Chains A and B, each alone.
Chain A
Amino acid sequence: GENVEQHPSTLSVQEGDSAVIKCTYSDSASNYFPWYKQELGKGPQLIIDIRSNVGEKKDQRIAVTLNKTAKHFSLHITETQPEDSAVYFCAASTRNTGGFKTIFGAGTRLFVKA
């Protein structure tokens, strides 16, 4: 079945450094790739997304890249801050007849050390 692999499972960086999280998806029909940030006790919150007709998207310190041929997409956070510490999930969404289905990666726990 469809799956999304996410690496690494844990990432620790120094404040000000960059963090990169990588995902691979299996369903070639996937056409929407959101990234979510989940803080303790809260539901996931969308931080950036990219569609299959775009290769890269940037929003301030956050950027996402997509390689459709290789079925890879990555999240890049620059100038990390302690408040970036959270669990990050990638997801691949596939539209089928009348609806859509989203498969999530297993998550990356990011620690930003002050």
Chain B
Amino acid sequence: KAGVTQTPRYLIKTRGQQVTLSCSPISGHRSVSWYQQTPGQGLQFLFEYFSETQRNKGNFPGRFSGRQFSNSRSEMNVSTLELGDSALYLCASSLVSSMNTEAFFGQGTRLTVV
């Protein structure tokens, strides 16, 4: 079956602009998590969505937001971009049950802010 798909793969934006990233989870997976990956900070948890509801949130400013649609696809939005937002943004999907929390990652969207 198809894996996690993230679009676009690469993006260049200017400071102050806003950006929307998209994630299509594995078919049947209802949980989508977003992470920011940078060389200095590693993988940082942004938020997790399940059935269109945000269930967990990391320590990022309000400029970072997301949503999930009824088909489990998710979008992440960053407003008023800063140079420090340049990173690889990864999405992971999970088939959440009481024990199974294995997450499958997409290839990521590499965002460069200039």
Contacts and interface: CB of A to CB of B under 8 A. Distances in A.
Interface of A: 1, 32, 34, 36, 41-46, 49, 51, 89, 91, 93, 95-96, 98-107
B98 to A, nearest CB: 9
Interface string B92-107: 1000100101111111
In the A-B complex, list the 4 residue pairs whose CB atoms are closest, starting with the nearest.
A99-B55, A43-B105, A104-B43, A106-B42
19 contacts: A1-B59, A42-B107, A43-B4, A44-B43, A44-B105, A51-B99, A89-B42, A89-B43, A91-B43, A95-B101, A98-B55, A99-B55, A101-B45, A101-B48, A102-B33, A102-B45, A104-B45, A106-B42, A107-B43
Given A43-B90, A44-B43, A106-B42, A101 B104 contact: no
Interface in B13-46: 31, 33, 35, 42-45
Interface residues of B, number: 26
B108 interface: yes
Interface of B: 4, 31, 33, 35, 42-45, 48, 50, 55-56, 58-59, 90, 92, 96, 99, 101-108
B42 A32 contact: no
Contacts of A100: 48, 56, 96, 101
A42 B33 CA distance: 17
A41 B90 CA distance: 12
A105 B59 contact: no
Contacts of B107: 41-43
B76 to A, nearest CB: 15
A49 B50 CA distance: 22
